[in-house]
Amino acid sequence: MGFSKSPLFSPFLVLLIVFSSLISPNSAADIFSLVYKGCANHTTSDLSSFQSTLTALFNALLSQSSASRFLKTSSGSGQNAISGLFQCRGDLTNADCSTCVSRITQMAPSLCGSGAIAGRIQLAGCYLHYEVAGFPQLSGTELQFKTCSKSDASFEEKRGTAFSQLETGIAGGSGFYATTYASVYVIAQCQGDLSVGDCGECVKEAVQRAEVECGKAIAGQVYLNRCYMSYSYYSNGVSGDSPSGSRQQMGKTAAIVVGGAFALFFVITERMDTWVLQ
């Protein structure tokens, strides 16, 4: 099952999307569940040196994950340098943040292979990104991944108000905001090194994408390159233990647009053992 190439296709920008199974939103394990992964399909020619530098980078990131929810650093020098960052969701404890980042560093070799020159792994509670020097850069608002649930027109006005509150809240400058309006739970977070203004613009773009891409869906997630937003509608009200996202509401369809180069649409069965490319 291969990918078709277009004139704009770049092998560096191939992202392979993997979904984890749907689980209870109140489960502690939810923050460690896989949302998606993106791996360069180009591999290094010097595997030994690359693995040594990548391990050093992962160790540097992990060593700070119990004290900070965001860190950007690099390992190695010159053409052999690998830069990377991690970010944890703004409401995670230090211990959960550290455990989440640790999970990714353990998962990375099996998810992206031992020699992929760039990778981005997004769990529900944190993500980690790494790339070699000179790797092509994406716009901060480039769509990485989105998924939408079934539709229900009755809550659209409530969602619009919740989205407005989210945009106002994220503009407050913390880089992370979550709120509930009329049983619509919304959450957004920006990459830790974004300015307040850029963060607000990124989340605004994510909200607009959600409105267009997900239409009247009662739940959705939109991940841009440097921010994300998620929403869910709970007809029985949101409990005091607000869910981390909208995974439990997700339907069976998803669409991915990567790097502006090509679009891949597929349908996933509930057991997620069958992919149908369209």
Domain containing 85: what range?
Answer: 23-132
In whole angstroms, give the CA distance from residue 255 to residue 145: 7
Last residue of a domain, one of 76, 102, 132: 132
Residue 242 included in any domain = yes
Going by pLDDT thresholds of 50, 70 and 90, the confidence category of residue 66 is: very high
Q: 116 and 34: one domain?
A: yes
In whole angstroms, give the CA distance from residue 64 to residue 66: 6
Checking if the pLDDT of 252 tops 70, the result is no
Q: 96 and 53: one domain?
A: yes
Residue 220 included in any domain = yes
Q: What is the pLDDT of residue 6?
A: 31
Predicted TM-score (pTM) of this structure: 0.73
Q: 126 and 150: one domain?
A: no
Q: 263 Cβ partners below 8 Å, 6+ apart?
A: 255, 256, 257
Q: 182 and 115: one domain?
A: no
Checking if the pLDDT of 122 tops 80, the result is yes
Report the chain's mean pLDDT, rounded to a whole number.
77
Checking if the pLDDT of 240 tops 60, the result is no
Residue 188 included in any domain = yes
Last residue of a domain, one of 132, 160, 189: 132
Q: How is 54-88 classified by DSSP, letter by letter?
A: HHHHHHHHHHHTTT-SEEEEEES-GGG-EEEEEEE
The number of folded domains in the chain is: 2
- Is residue 189 within 8 Å of residue 89, measured between CB atoms? yes
Q: 201 and 235: one domain?
A: yes
- The CATH number for 85's domain is 3.30.430.20
Going by pLDDT thresholds of 50, 70 and 90, the confidence category of residue 235 is: confident
- Is residue 232 within 8 Å of residue 242, measured between CB atoms? no
Q: 101 and 57: one domain?
A: yes
Last residue of a domain, one of 132, 155, 178: 132
Residue that wins the pLDDT comparison between 62 and 245: 62
Tokens representing 233 are 């509608």
Q: 118 and 192: one domain?
A: no
pLDDT, tens digit (0-9, with 9 covering 90-100), for 7-35: 332 333 333 333 333 323 334 458 999 99
Q: 114 and 56: one domain?
A: yes
Q: What is the pLDDT of residue 154?
A: 75
Q: What Cα–Cα distance (Å) separates residue 185 from each residue in 85, 88, 137? A: 28, 19, 32
